[in-house]
Structure 1
Amino acid sequence: MKALWLAAALCVAGSVPVGAAEPAAAKPDRGVWVIRDVTVIPADTDEVLAHRTVVIREGRIAGIQALGALLHPAGARYIDGRGKFLIPGLVDAHVHIATEGALRDSKNPLLAGLDTGADHVYDRHVLLSFLKAGVTGAANLGGGAHSDEDLLWLRDEIAAGRILGPRLYVAKRINGPRAEVASPRPAEVPASKPGAPTTAADGIAAVRAARERGYDFIKPYQFLNRETYQAVVEETRRQGMVSSGHLPELGCGVCADRAFAFAHPLDNIAHSEELGRYGRESDLAPRDIDALAERVARGKIGVTPTLITLKQILHMYVQREVPPVPGDWLALVDPVTRLDWAPANNPYLSAKFRNQDGADTFSAGYDFSRLLTRELWKRGVPLTVGTDAPLPGLAFGVSVHQEMIELREVGLSPLEVLRAATVNAHRLFDRQGGSGAVRVGERADLVLLDADPLADLRNVARIDGVFVQGRWLPAARIEAMLKESDREMRELSQRLQARQAAAERSKPAP
């Protein structure tokens, strides 16, 4: 097991043309790759560059030349690009990655002290699921203390080439105490508690601590009171960090109002549903859509709509079941996530969820968000592709394809959707790391497709292989590595089942 993971991380595949036998040993560097006669879709413009030869050297795109150019770099390995399409790697701009640390954070007693296997096999399995879908970047929008520490470690291991996975951008979520924020009188705001600042000074300190710890961006959350929310947003900007999160809560003595939220704008709003909250006082009327979209555009705020998230929640509310996962992807969903999706643990299938105030407006909320997203797009608001996976029914990786289809259905062209899933996310989370486009000098995080995604956006699922920081991984190799973790995932599932059985036996007789 460990040998296979290591070989993959050190740039597997052969020193011969693709299709021939691969060598037994892998070289410890990224090496030089040449893709011959491929159609390049840079994604930062409307260009489509047919019949190009692309050279990748030491993790970066070193050349994009017309087919007739004589390019034979020393030691190069070749890929036949005929009939194929090279696009930037996809980015999930809103995800909550399951890690071994997240299990330690879990309040579910079935997970306490659970053995997930050696050599971070659980983490590696989850990360490979992204690569299988061509997702070479992922922004994690906050977790618990242990999961955040795991993610920061995994981020650095991936960047160093020791673990295979998408490039990670890790958020520090900063939130206030909900009960106090909901209080009707500002005077009742208590002293700050660790992890829940209620003063401007403590909000500023939280941002600075996150910066020092090495977080990539800040996720302000909705239960920060007015004073603290403003301080967190402004200090994030002063620290040169990005803010992507929730809009502040409305309707209480210490809460913000609409004018305040847009006077102190985030860089990016993490859900279109957040804007839906701001249109709810007039029953999500169509007239609210123009006003909200105009405010976002004027504020130069980006939005990650997460329409697929709302669609899945609506499905669970109406159908009372977890939505089906596309194709063969359900088999890749790890046992812990499956446990969370099960009816006993799934809040979206609970009576409490169904009976909450406003539950009968879920359908209208989804429609409102779709129309709002269309208006945002028409005004040039930068949109990104995010999923909120692993929300029930949303598997890591493939859910990005599902959200891309959602954006296509509200009016974006295939190229505009592709741009939202690639270069827009890079501009948001990785401003110093290049554009994310398929251009000379950019990092080689790329996807080679067997069919044209501009002719049919669903072709983003027809993946021939993925470049991760210049390391070529054919689709078959990714599948083989996922297969290698099958035994550990089965054993993990058995351990969970044993714990569930023991918990059932320990229940008192009725």
Structure 2
Amino acid sequence: MIAYLLGLALGATPAASTAPPAQPAGTWVVEDVTVIPADTDEVLAHRTVVIRDGKIERILPQASKTKVKGAAVVDGRGKYLVPGFVDAHVHLSTEGAIRDSKDAAISGLDLGQEHRYDRQIMLNLLKAGVTGVANLGGSAGSDEDLLRLRGEIDAGRMDGPKLYVGKRINGPRAAVAVSPTQPVPASKPESPTTAADGILAVQRARERGYDFIKPYQFLNRETYRAIVEESARQGFITTGHLPELGCASCADRAFAFGHPMTNIAHSEELARFARIEHDLSPKDIEALAQAVSASGMSVTPTLVTLRTIVDMYVHRQVPAVPGGWDASVDAVTRLDWAPPGNRYLSQAFRDQEGADAFSAGYDFARVLTRELWKRKVPLTVGTDAALPGLAFGVSVQQEMVELREIGLKPVEVLRAASINAHRLFDPKAGSGAVRAGERANLVLLDADPLADIQNVGKIAGVFAQGRWLPMAEIERKLAEGEGFERGLQQQLRERKQAAH
């Protein structure tokens, strides 16, 4: 299991936003740019792209010399316009989570009134070209904060990526333990062990306005099935963990693939199935890939997540954040990355059964993901940030490199990072390609990503929710929050000194 949750105790509803009024989407003309639509292998050189009211209005040959009244001009010479990237698997830390935490190290921190903490995280995502994010669940209080953030960004009152907020539904671990050491708690919608409570949990998620459902692995067979089926009836996609194996009420592999989710949240989930039943046998790769392909599920591999966990296990330290991004990790997150908050550096983590197979599991997951790609299983880019070592935003670029290294062509990596995610989370809002009529969530790159996928890190600016933010403007807005960050660090230092 890789999912990394902040583990903060939450419950209170966040205070109302004091954000500024909505900013209009406006009109822009990107001149003489190379367009990479990403839904095909096309490359459209020397194009003029007209963006109006949050959508791509026209894509024309540069020779047309189009003039658009009231439009601001963006110089696209030597640059490449690609779809905005989507992180299909994150666990966003929020100001609401900090406020509600019972952890003495962070509880009661003075966060001000301007949602500065949330704004910095959203800006760092945009800085990396991430214009869409799927949050795969937290507790009630953190989800409440994210639903508020989603509304602020959609309304144009906050700069940030399009947020998709998932409801995590899980049963008590004791309900699927092979050798239970305690009685199974009574079923309730918050932790269901019956089909009825699982259905009610999904229905409540629909009433609350969640975007999708995340089934988790400690659901028994019938509850898991009920949640997946009710989610489909409610119009939800499901992306999460495969059910646990090995107990009387657990699923088996045939059941899991016979009642599929929309998407599997990690290739490591498939490696877990292989480890339990066949001890990571290479012969099982083809069988698993065929089962996924036949089921119709897509997969978010999160290879960089498993690689980072292996790195911590082997080297006993958090791997370095890529150059230039270390400063983007806020003080609260960094505290969670250090012992004792970081469970991946604990002796208990090292002592767990099967820990010595983590490296083999990463190799297995890479080969399996390549086999899924060869079978045309749709892949998306996800990171599990902010797992220790994986900063919000830049980790998306790291995962794109991982997919390139297992064999995907650069345009296929771009497709996984954009179009496939749009098809998964937001199919009614268009394809996500750089095409006329599509929503203007775009990245303008200074170098060709088809020549070298690492060029996805060379960002000139982004269109987010139809608003143009050049990199200089993103950096300026981030700099406005540096004083807040320093104040947060000072508060944490003072608490640490007082504790000693």
Q: TM-score, normalised by structure 2?
A: 0.94
Tell me how far 1:155 sits from its aligned partner: 0.3
Matched, 1:75 2:54: no
Residue in 2 aligned with 1:44? 39
Name the residue aligned to 1:88: 83
- Deviation of 1:110 after TM superposition, in Å, equals 1.3
- Is 2:145 aligned against 1:150? yes
Partner amino acid for 1:261? A
Deviations 1:229-269 (A, max 9, x none): 00000000011110000000011111111111011000000
Alignment pair present for 1:436 and 2:438: no
- Could you tell me how far 1:214 is from its partner in structure 2? 0.2
Q: In 2, Cα distance between the equivalents of 1:347 and 1:105?
A: 21
Residue 427 (structure 1) aligned with residue 423 (structure 2): yes
User: Given that residues 105 and 144 in structure 1 are in contact (C-alpha distance below 8 angstroms), is that contact kept between their aligned partners in structure 2?
Assistant: no
Alignment of 1:144-293 (within 5 A): 144-182=139-177, 184=179, 189-280=184-275, 281-293=277-289
- 1:434-489, CA deviations, whole angstroms, 9 ceiling, x for partnerless residues? 10000101111100000000000000010001011111101011001101100001
> Which one of 404, 407, 426 corresponds to residue 408 of structure 1?
404
| In the alignment, structure 1 residue 333 sits paired with structure 2 residue 332 | no
Deviation at 1:282, TM superposition (A): 1.7
The ranges of structure 1 where at least 4 consecutive aligned residues each deviate by more than 4 angstroms after the TM superposition are 187-190
Counterpart amino acid of 1:33? Answer: W
* Cα distance change of structure 1 residues 105 and 292 upon mapping to structure 2, 3 Å threshold: farther
Q: Is the 8 A contact 1:105 1:145 kept in 2?
A: no
Find the aligned partners of 1:141 and 1:314 in 2 and give their Cα distance: 22
User: CA, structure 1 residues 338+251, in 2 after alignment: closer, same or farther (shift >3 Å)?
Assistant: same
- Establish whether residue 132 from structure 1 lines up as the match of residue 153 from structure 2: no
Structure 1 position 351 matched with structure 2 position 341: no
Q: Distance in 2 between matches of 1:388 and 1:401?
A: 13
Q: Which amino acid aligns with 1:298?
A: A
Structure 1 residue 76 displacement after superposition: 1.1
Question: For 1:403-482, what aligned pairs fall within 5 Å after superposition?
Answer: 403-482=399-478
Q: CA deviation at 1:344?
A: 2.4
Moved more, 105-114 or 390-399: 105-114
Q: Return the alpha-carbon distance in structure 1 between the equivalents of residues 20 and 123 of structure 2.
A: 14
Cα deviation for residue 211 of structure 1 reads 0.6
* Structure 2 residues not aligned, in runs of 5+: 1-18
Kept after mapping to 2: 8 A contact 1:89/1:134:
yes
SS at match of 2:191: coil
Per-residue CA deviations over 1:329-363 (Å, capped at 9, x if unaligned) read 11011110000011221101111111111111010
CA distance in 2, matches of 1:490, 1:129: 17
Q: Percent identity?
A: 68
Corresponding residue SS for 2:64: coil
Query: Do the aligned partners of 1:141 and 1:173 also contact (CA within 8 Å) in 2?
Result: yes
Q: Secondary structure at the match of 2:235?
A: coil
Amino acid at match of 1:119: E
In 1: Cα distance, 2:358 partner to 2:176 partner = 25
Q: Which residue of 2 is the match for residue 386 of structure 1? A: 382
- Cα distance in structure 1, aligned partners of 2:409 and 2:100: 41
Q: Which sections of structure 1, spanning at least 5 residues, go unmatched?
A: 11-28, 505-510
Per-residue deviation, 1:183: 5.2
Shift of 1:100: 1.1
- CA 1:308–1:256 in 2, change beyond 3 Å: closer, same or farther? same
